[in-house]
């Protein structure tokens, strides 16, 4: 029987693991990968539960490793921000060496699991970790272009699921990548807007102009529009096996208009409240979009 001290210790370790891997974000990324996988299989009977399991665990490990490396690299900067100062490494609860061990172990496990699915999946997983930790993370204190660079690893999960299902990177996987690539901008610029003061403490440049101004808000509206265009590409018949029916296209269009309305509201008001609402709307957008695509495939 465990003593109360042991129970507290296990609870603490679990809590720190969830924080260093950013479990909420990791689970949302896994959802995108699973959605891509379901879109890639021929039909419901073709779903391989074991492959799906390896994709989910491998995907979590990839995101968790990236976040752990990030928190080691930015531990001093994280300590300056209210949002991140209580993270395990920044707060001193976990040593950098311990965090690097966790990150390395997750990288190895994740790459092995994805390789068992197919080598292409492992390759894209490795590219994602490299871009996030070695390019995006260092650029955050130098240039707003870091968000553009970070959009590449951020766009891989949706496409990774398709590659895991088909062992092929073609127009279909490219389209899924494009959708999630454009989605990054309204999402992260909204976060950068309402957390502007906190990011400023660490010297992070997250907004395209570096300021909460009209130009930043306008670019957020434009990228929301490009996201909608990319999301409707599967309805025109030029994206291979990735296709949605006109009914689903209408739903996607309405979803896009809903997001654009929130982006325009940010442009008009330029308030932290509007930015936070846009961020939540962007999360709803990508989630509902993926569900629409999946239901369209299996119910048509």
What pLDDT does 190 receive? 97
Architecture of domain 17-168: Orthogonal Bundle (1.10)
pLDDT tens, residue by residue, 27-73: 999 999 999 999 999 988 899 999 999 999 999 999 999 999 999 99
Domain positions in the chain? 17-168, 170-300
Cα 191 to Cα 185: distance, rounded to the nearest angstrom: 10
pLDDT tens, residue by residue, 123-146: 999 999 999 999 999 999 999 889
Most distant CA pair in the chain, distance = 62
pLDDT tens, residue by residue, 94-131: 999 999 999 999 999 999 999 999 999 999 999 999 99
């Amino acid at each position: 029987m465990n003593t109360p001290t042991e129970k507290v210790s296990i609870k603490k370790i679990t809590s720190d693991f969830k924080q260093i891997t950013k479990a909420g974000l990791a689970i949302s990324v896994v959802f995108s990968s699973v959605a891509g996988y379901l879109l890639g299989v021929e039909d419901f009977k073709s779903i391989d539960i074991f492959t799906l399991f390896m994709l989910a665990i491998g995907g979590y490990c990839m995101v968790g490793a990236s976040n752990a490396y990030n928190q080691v690299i930015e531990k001093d900067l994280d300590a300056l921000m209210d949002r991140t100062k209580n993270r395990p490494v920044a707060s001193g609860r976990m040593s950098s060496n311990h965090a690097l061990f966790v990150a390395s172990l997750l990288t190895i496990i994740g790459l092995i699991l994805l390789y068992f699915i197919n080598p292409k999946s492992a390759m894209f997983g490795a590219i994602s970790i490299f871009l996030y930790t070695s390019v995006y993370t260092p650029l955050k204190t130098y240039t707003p272009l870091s968000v553009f660079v970070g959009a590449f690893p951020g766009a891989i999960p949706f496409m990774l699921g398709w590659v895991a299902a088909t062992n092929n990177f073609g127009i279909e996987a490219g389209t899924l990548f494009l959708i999630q690539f454009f989605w990054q901008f309204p999402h992260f610029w909204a976060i950068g807007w309402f957390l502007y003061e906190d990011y400023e403490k660490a010297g992070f440049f997250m907004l395209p102009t570096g300021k909460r101004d009209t130009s930043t808000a306008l670019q957020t509206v434009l990228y929301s529009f490009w996201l909608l265009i990319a999301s409707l590409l599967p309805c025109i018949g030029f994206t291979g096996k990735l296709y949605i029916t006109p009914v689903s296209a209408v739903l996607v269009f309405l979803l896009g208009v809903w997001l654009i309305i929130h982006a325009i509201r940010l442009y008009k008001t330029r308030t932290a409240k509007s930015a936070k609402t846009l961020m939540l709307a962007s999360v709803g957008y990508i989630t509902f979009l993926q569900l629409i695509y999946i239901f369209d495939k299996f119910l048509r």
